[in-house]
Amino acid sequence: MHLARELLFHGAMEHLRLKPLPYDTHALEPHISGETVALHYEKHHAGYARKLKVLIADKPEETASLERIILTSDGAILDNAAQIWNHDFYWRSMQPDGGGAPSGALNGAITRNFGSCEKLRRDFLEAGASHFGSGWLWLVTHRDGLRITTTHDADLPLRHGDTAILCADLWEHAYYLDYRNERARYLEAFFDRLVNWEFAGANWSRAAAKAPGNQAPGASRQSMARPARLELATFRSAT
């Protein structure tokens, strides 16, 4: 059941419409329950959208893109806009029957940067488990390569000039109904059973195509000059 028709940003600009879930609310079971997905999407994700609509009413931000709002705002407007972007990216970082290993150019980049996909998995899970409090766990392109990072609260790579490749929600509302306080088990299920490597690979390929000289960001230090706006094009193209 897609809920988007009931959760549209009525009257708002087209680009601020809440994006629909890319799958049924029960599609990620048994790893993430339909109850968690529905609550997460309807109450939390849509809640940020509703709050932003109120916050930007009759302000210049009302006609700005979501990414422009994220790059130029602060306070509650930034927090709510960033949470909309983060959740859109999170839903698309997963798919039913996901997991496994990345292929193609992303697989090669992971091997160059981490040594192996298994090492990436260990580092990703460790970073997520050790992150204190609410936030987000990311695989990003950073300067001349890939790296794993976490951000606090609503913060996101776009604000730091990095390009998001993959993300996991570390807020308790993402896993508490299914895993209680066992964030590590949730992250294992995310990585082993749900990761959408096709989405991550598309993000990587688009980042590589945008990099100077059309080289993968991990292949040349020239990519340090890549503009922060790259991530906007990457996300739009991947959804």
Give the footprint of Fe ion on this chain (CB under 5 A). 44, 169, 171
- Quick one: 171 or 199, whose CB is closer to Fe ion? 171
CB of 48 to Fe ion, least distance (A): 9
- Quick one: 44 or 143, whose CB is closer to Fe ion? 44
Long-range contacts of 148-153 (CB under 8 A, 24+ apart): 148/120, 148/123, 148/124, 153/79
Can you spell out the DSSP letters for 50-75? HHHHHHTTTSGGGGS-HHHHHHH--H
Distance between alpha carbon 159 and the CA centroid of its chain, in Å? 13
- Quick one: 27 or 101, whose CB is closer to Fe ion? 27
CB of 60 to Fe ion, least distance (A): 27
CB of 86 to Fe ion, least distance (A): 7
- Quick one: 44 or 53, whose CB is closer to Fe ion? 44
Residue whose entry in the numeric block shows the structure tokens 């697989």: 107
- Quick one: 15 or 43, whose CB is closer to Fe ion? 43
CB of 180 to Fe ion, least distance (A): 17
CB of 105 to Fe ion, least distance (A): 29
Q: Which residues pair with 135 in a beta bridge?
A: 152
Closest-CA residue to 9 (of 63, 52, 43, 39): 52
- Quick one: 88 or 162, whose CB is closer to Fe ion? 88
Closest-CA residue to 227 (of 163, 164, 167): 163
CB of 136 to Fe ion, least distance (A): 9
Please state the φ and ψ torsions of residue 140, each to the nearest 5 degrees. -135, 160
Nearest residue to Fe ion, by Cβ distance, number only:
169
- What per-residue string of b and e applies to 29-62 under the rule 16 or more CB within 10 Å gives b? eebbbeebbeebbeeebbebbebbbebbeeeebe
Closest-CA residue to 33 (of 178, 190, 172, 182): 178
CB of 75 to Fe ion, least distance (A): 20
- Quick one: 171 or 197, whose CB is closer to Fe ion? 171
Closest-CA residue to 98 (of 196, 185, 28): 196
